[in-house]
Amino acid sequence: MGSLATLFAPERVAVVGASDEEGSVGHAVTRNLLEHFAGSVVAVNPNQEAVLGLSCYDSLSEADAVDVAVVAVPPAVAVDVVREAGEVGVENVVVITAGFSEAGSEGAARERDLVAIAEEYDLNLVGPNSLGVMSTGVGLNATFAPTHPTSGSVSFMSQSGAFVTAVLDWAADRSLGFKDVVSLGNKAVLDEGDFVREWGDDPDTDVILGYLEDVADGRAFLEAAGEVTRETPVVLVKSGRTDAGASAAASHTGAIAGSDRAYEAGFRQAGVLRVETVQELFDAAAILAGQPLPDAEAVAIVTNAGGPGVLTTDAVGDTDLELASFADATLDRLDAELPEGANVYNPVDIIGDAPVERFETATDIVLGDPNVGMAVVLACPTATLSFSDLADAVVRQQETHGTPLAAVLMGGRSTQSAADRLAAAGVPTYFDPSRAVRSLETLAEYARVRERPPAEPTAFEVDRERARAVLDRARDRGADRLGVEAMDLLEAYGIPTPDGEVVDDPAAAERVAERLGDEVVMKVVSPDILHKSDIGGVEVGVPSGEVRQTFETLVARARRYQPDARVLGVQVQELLDTDAGTETIVGVTRDPQFGPLVMFGLGGIFVEVLEDTTFRVAPVGERDARAMLEEIDAAPLLHGARGREPVDTDALAEVIGRISQLATDFPAIAELDINPVLATAEGATAVDLRLTLEEEP
């Protein structure tokens, strides 16, 4: 158990602001606690004698050995109450009171006080502006919500209190049970990362669910989640995905939203399953809590109705799962057991007159097939079929084989008791086959998270001091935008660059050019000119005889374009045959929540028109760098599509890893674009770069 064990399993809970007044929060919290809590409840309210039969204490200091103080007093008093809790040694505080950072500058100041007190006394503080916390293990309902959850293995946190109420009301009709429920409120102290870590350590929590509008500390959260998801699935809705949603979220919580691509990338790296809708959230919870993980991704379908069997097959085709191909022995057994007109191939159609026995036989046979990793059993109502008996048979087969299974019962009220029976055994049921298949895909996705290699970033050997010197020199001359003159930075981090030098006179240019071959690339070097090619500041394929003259021309153009530009010289560079390779882009931006975000894509129209890009939160390990290369739509072009030579993906992945390390080592780098990184069969070379430094703090 983690450090929040007492918060969720206290022996003694005090309600500060307990009240006899119907409709007040203090009344609702006290009543909820009294109704179910296995421990003792203490009422604190200096203005009342007794509340709901409990005699009132005037203050927390009078109540002995309180494990959790629930604070439901006006905001002006709440801070003092929390301080008192700290003074008398209460370790856990749930601040229901609103009127903090969500309510203007006065509230924000109040919240800062709260944080300072929590730090001083090392308090586990939930909220403020929280609906409260629940834990079914000890019957704890320290909220003002009207519904007490049924007991189960799902723990749930929500940044919206209303959403908690809604979900509990909704879940009451269904068989989704909860272990702990937390309304995060303003997350002044405890946040999503703390609860993910806590529930990761909780043997009674099998699935962690969350509704989030932002993540307070992106990197800390990813670190916690990355550890936890190796053992316990974490499924999140993160709202504010779309532009409209993000601005609505900002006005709702006041949070500065990081970019959604950073959330998307970070969650994926940490193994968090991100879903988009409420229905998906609870479908994921039900199957992860109820079914084992699959050891293969091939799905078997057993149905008494051909058409819905085809729909189910389409649903499999929509996922990353595949339709199982049965072993010959399976086909032989099905052939022997099923009547004429049945289809023994997947989807197995046991036809409309099938009684429960035929369903059970067919399910038994396909679950015994070594190729089958998961199954859907689908039944339409017929005169010969009892849904309840079918439920028993399905549960029996699922338990016998230990293969994950979802049921589709294509009817209305007539399926209800069967659905309840299946749900009690952890088998989810649906009317719509596509939801059943999507749920199985969730299981497979989580199985992949468990099985994948760790994401440890490679620690490349680099010359950090040399890189620092490049950045320091830039600072010294007041530059915050760097171009090719900073290629040294890449070299310091072991990223191949074209051979070349920056020179400051024509004779030196000629000397360098001679060494580099028949033709060279020449670029004017000036921190003040960002778009060099636009002003004619780049010449490609300069023959040896024209190097001197070109030096003069480039410098002259730069002066003409911008008389006050500082011209540091001209870069003379080996001419790479770009037609012989594939131009790619590796970039870094900085996200307010997650820090450096590394981008990969192909050059030109691929990034600029098709937006065919992929992102990761740095540090990017080899596993993720390689995955990035495969995720773009244009990936086949890296592997030799249309007669090209396949590029050296090892080298390209290494460039991504080294850039990630550079961006992580130097927070001063606000933006970095290496465009292009020329990938060939022999390696990957950074040809040009642009870099923006943070303004000095």
Which of 381, 494, 506, 536 touches a copy of itself by CB under 8 A? Answer: 381
Which of 171, 285, 407, 520 touches a copy of itself by CB under 8 A? Answer: 171
Q: Using the rule CB under 8 A, is 307 a contact of a copy of itself?
A: yes
Which residues, numbered 122-151, are part of the site for a copy of itself (CB under 8 A)? 146
Which of 2, 137, 177, 245 touches a copy of itself by CB under 8 A? Answer: 245
| Pairwise CA distance, residues 193 & 163, whole Å | 19
Q: Which is nearer to a copy of itself, 402 or 604 (CB)?
A: 604
Q: How many residues bind a copy of itself (CB under 8 A)?
A: 86
Could you tell me the smallest distance in angstroms from the CB atom of residue 516 to a copy of itself? 28
Could you tell me the smallest distance in angstroms from the CB atom of residue 664 to a copy of itself? 31
Tokens encoding 234: 């974490």
Which residues, numbered 433-462, are part of the site for a copy of itself (CB under 8 A)? 433-435
Using an 8 Å Cβ cutoff, are 600 and 613 in contact? yes
Which residues, numbered 180-219, are part of the site for a copy of itself (CB under 8 A)? 211, 213
Q: Which is nearer to a copy of itself, 411 or 494 (CB)?
A: 411
Which of 631, 633, 648, 665 touches a copy of itself by CB under 8 A? Answer: 633
| Pairwise CA distance, residues 599 & 610, whole Å | 14
526 C-beta neighbours (distance < 10 Å), count: 26
| Pairwise CA distance, residues 660 & 2, whole Å | 33
| Pairwise CA distance, residues 398 & 405, whole Å | 7
By DSSP bridging, strand 595-602 and strand 613-617 are antiparallel
Which of 49, 256, 328, 383 touches a copy of itself by CB under 8 A? Answer: 383
Q: Using the rule CB under 8 A, is 38 a contact of a copy of itself?
A: no
User: Among the candidate windows 476-484, 583-591, 601-609, 660-668, which touches a copy of itself by CB under 8 A?
Assistant: 601-609
Q: Using the rule CB under 8 A, is 76 a contact of a copy of itself?
A: no
Could you tell me the smallest distance in angstroms from the CB atom of residue 280 to a copy of itself? 9
Cα distances from 259 to residues 5, 91, 616, 664, in angstroms, run 34, 36, 12, 18
Identify the residue whose tokens are 């097959």: 313
Q: Using the rule CB under 8 A, is 413 a contact of a copy of itself?
A: yes
User: Among the candidate windows 122-130, 169-177, 357-365, 673-681, which touches a copy of itself by CB under 8 A?
Assistant: 169-177
Partners of 134 in beta bridges? 141, 181
Which of 151, 279, 400, 533 touches a copy of itself by CB under 8 A? Answer: 279
User: Among the candidate windows 122-130, 240-248, 492-500, 617-625, which touches a copy of itself by CB under 8 A?
Assistant: 240-248
Which of 77, 170, 336, 386 touches a copy of itself by CB under 8 A? Answer: 170
Could you tell me the smallest distance in angstroms from the CB atom of residue 295 to a copy of itself? 21
Which residues, numbered 458-487, are part of the site for a copy of itself (CB under 8 A)? none
Using an 8 Å Cβ cutoff, are 297 and 321 in contact? yes
Q: Using the rule CB under 8 A, is 158 a contact of a copy of itself?
A: yes
By DSSP bridging, strand 538-543 and strand 519-525 are antiparallel
Cα distances from 143 to residues 18, 70, 130, 311, 446, in angstroms, run 12, 9, 8, 44, 32
Q: Which long-range contacts (CB under 8 A, 24 or more apart) does 30-37 make?
A: 30/54, 32/141, 32/142, 32/143, 32/144, 32/145, 32/148, 33/70, 33/140, 33/141, 33/142, 35/141, 35/148, 36/139, 36/140, 36/141, 36/148, 37/13, 37/138, 37/139, 37/140, 37/141
Cα distances from 6 to residues 134, 424, 426, in angstroms, run 12, 30, 29
3-state secondary structure of 619: coil
Q: What is the DSSP string of 324-389?
A: PPPPHHHHHHHHHHSPTT-B-SSSEE--TT--HHHHHHHHHHHHTSTT--EEEEEE---TT--HHH
Q: Which is nearer to a copy of itself, 593 or 660 (CB)?
A: 593
User: Among the candidate windows 262-270, 327-335, 480-488, 635-643, which touches a copy of itself by CB under 8 A?
Assistant: 635-643
| Pairwise CA distance, residues 22 & 155, whole Å | 30
Which residues, numbered 328-347, are part of the site for a copy of itself (CB under 8 A)? 341, 343, 345, 347
Which residues, numbered 555-594, are part of the site for a copy of itself (CB under 8 A)? none
Which residues, numbered 497-556, are part of the site for a copy of itself (CB under 8 A)? none
Using an 8 Å Cβ cutoff, are 460 and 493 in contact? yes
User: Among the candidate windows 66-74, 193-201, 298-306, 440-448, which touches a copy of itself by CB under 8 A?
Assistant: 298-306
Could you tell me the smallest distance in angstroms from the CB atom of residue 55 to a copy of itself? 26
| Pairwise CA distance, residues 378 & 359, whole Å | 9
Could you tell me the smallest distance in angstroms from the CB atom of residue 284 to a copy of itself? 13
Q: Using the rule CB under 8 A, is 645 a contact of a copy of itself?
A: no
Q: Using the rule CB under 8 A, is 412 a contact of a copy of itself?
A: yes
Q: Using the rule CB under 8 A, is 105 a contact of a copy of itself?
A: no
Q: What is Dmax (Cα atoms) for the chain?
A: 101
Angle between helices 218-228 and 260-270 (to 10 degrees): 30
Could you tell me the smallest distance in angstroms from the CB atom of residue 19 to a copy of itself? 14
Q: Which is nearer to a copy of itself, 39 or 245 (CB)?
A: 245
Q: Using the rule CB under 8 A, is 169 a contact of a copy of itself?
A: yes
Could you tell me the smallest distance in angstroms from the CB atom of residue 267 to a copy of itself? 15
By DSSP bridging, strand 124-126 and strand 92-95 are parallel
Using an 8 Å Cβ cutoff, are 385 and 379 in contact? yes
| Pairwise CA distance, residues 189 & 211, whole Å | 18
Which of 114, 410, 568, 655 touches a copy of itself by CB under 8 A? Answer: 410
Could you tell me the smallest distance in angstroms from the CB atom of residue 100 to a copy of itself? 13
Strands in 466-568 per DSSP E: 481-482, 500-503, 519-525, 538-543
Which residues, numbered 312-331, are part of the site for a copy of itself (CB under 8 A)? 313-318, 322-323
| Pairwise CA distance, residues 490 & 206, whole Å | 45
Q: Cis peptide leading into 676, omega within 30 of 0?
A: yes
Could you tell me the smallest distance in angstroms from the CB atom of residue 488 to a copy of itself? 30
Which of 608, 630, 645, 650 touches a copy of itself by CB under 8 A? Answer: 608
Which residues, numbered 349-378, are part of the site for a copy of itself (CB under 8 A)? 349, 352
